[in-house]
Amino acid sequence: MGKMVIYPGSFDPITNGHLSIVRRALTMFDSITIAVASKPMKKTLFTLDERVDLIQESIKNDDRIFVDSFNGLLVDYVDGKKTNIVLRGMRALSDFEYEFQMSLMNRKLNKNIQTIFMMTDYKWLYTSSTIIKEAASYGGAVGGLVPDVVCQKLKEKFGFQ
Ligand code: PNS
């Protein structure tokens, strides 16, 4: 089966920054499961089904990439999988505190699970789903920051199409 990694997040919506992490992770792992949190702490713009569909449409056909969703604790979801490795992307220093807290909490909850981090490519350093949604909500052009299918869906959501 090979070495697999789990890449969890809200993916509300998936961005080119996320996809860059996925592609780069596949140079180290044989497969990656993008695990979409069904009810993240933040209220989401897209429903779980929409977030999963947008990922599926963005990754095209790559049999090394799986898309899944989970409810409840991440560590419980990972526990049932054939890997103990969780991947998170990091951008600027501002991500560090939150990621540090989360990985330590996950570690307290399950010592067997290891979180690893990849620094984002400089191109995506200052983009996030949140800031992209904000710009899109006012009709701002976010092409190039998200896959085309996401760009289209954002326009529809905010009534610009
Ligand atoms: O993309 P995000 O919003 O930064 O992803 C955060 C996510 C979904 C990975 C995190 O909130 C999560 O794992 N949620 C599930 C509940 C959980 O296990 N929380 C962390 C330990 S309390």
- Cα torsion 148, 141, 14, 87: sign: positive
Query: Does position 80 have pLDDT exceeding 90, yes or no?
Result: no
Q: Per-domain residue ranges for the chain?
A: 4-125
What would the pLDDT profile of 98-156 be if each residue is shown by its tens digit? Answer: 999 999 999 999 999 999 999 999 999 989 999 999 999 999 999 999 999 999 999 99
Q: What is the 3-state secondary structure (H, E, C) of 101-118?
A: HHHHHHHHHCCCCEEEEE
- Asked whether 115 lines ligand 1 (CB < 6 A), one says no
Mutate to test the pocket of ligand 1, among 74, 104, 130 (most ligand atoms within 8 A of CB): 74
Q: Following CA atoms 12, 81, 62, 31 in sequence, which dihedral angle do they give, to the nearest 10 degrees?
A: 110
pLDDT at 40: 83
The two three-digit tokens of residue 92, written as one number: 């600027």
Paired residues of 35 in beta bridges: 8, 68
What is the CATH code of the structural domain delimited by 4-125?
3.40.50.620
- Asked whether 105 lines ligand 1 (CB < 6 A), one says yes
Catalytic residue positions, numbered: 18, 42, 91, 129
- Asked whether 129 lines ligand 1 (CB < 6 A), one says no
pTM more than 0.95: yes
The two three-digit tokens of residue 67, written as one number: 């898309």
The rounded distance, in Å, linking the Cα atoms of 84 and 5 is 8
From the CB of residue 110, how many other CB atoms can be counted at a distance below 10 Å? Answer: 15
